[in-house]
Amino acid sequence: MNDSAPVWIVAGPPGSGKTTTCSLLLERLRPVPALLDKDTLYGHFVAATLAAASRDPGEREGPWYDENIKSHEYAGLTATAREIRSHGCPVLLSGPFTGQIRDPRRWKTWQEELGGAPVRLIWIRTDATTLRTRLASRNLARDTGKLAAFDAFIKRMQPDVPPPVPHFELDNRLESAPLPEQIDALLSRWR
């Protein structure tokens, strides 16, 4: 894979600030990467699949979702990112990617599936209080299941436990420094 076509991965729980982080990165990265946001690309597909299977429209977590939807979302994102990178264009992926970033073997395999190095993970640290506040305030149907089983959601997401794979951390808890400042510092370290 061409070194001029990195893949940037912004990972964190729903409500952690991935969309804001991606917007800030897109303003700063040159060349500008192609943004592949899981919810933008697959949101309508997920809603239609849940409806066709007579599932709750807010079911965006759990074994059924992981097996019947998430695996296909992530496979599609991965294949699309690899294809874009193969033509020399950098890619910015946005999604929770919990399974990929919490298991070093799975992380290594995923890097290879994405087309190899360079793969740069930006993990967003948050906490339960911040997530509950943000999920409730954005009031999206896709968050109803998370809020209804919030303790289980937090246990799966581990919002304040760093992943055991190489990453850069942004702190987006309610009391943290502004994200633009953190991103500028992070990018200056990379440069």
Kindly state whether residue 137 falls inside one of the protein's structural domains.
Answer: yes
Going by their DSSP bridges, the two strands 168-171 and 119-125 should be labelled as parallel
Domain count, the chain: 1
Of 49, 17, 39, the C-alpha closest to 137 is 17
* % of the chain with per-residue pLDDT over 70: 98
What is the pLDDT at residue 4? 66
Kindly state whether residue 169 falls inside one of the protein's structural domains.
Answer: yes
Going by their DSSP bridges, the two strands 7-11 and 34-37 should be labelled as unpaired
Q: Which residue matches tokens 């700063």? A: 28
Kindly state whether residue 13 falls inside one of the protein's structural domains.
Answer: yes
Q: Which domain holds residue 32?
A: 7-190
Of 129, 170, 175, the C-alpha closest to 10 is 170
- The stretch 9-31 carries a mean pLDDT of 96
What is the pLDDT at residue 128? 95
**What is the CATH classification number for the domain harbouring 170?**
3.40.50.300
Kindly state whether residue 2 falls inside one of the protein's structural domains.
Answer: no
The model's pLDDT over 35-81, given as tens digits with 9 standing for 90+, comes to 999 999 999 999 999 999 999 988 888 889 999 999 999 999 999 99
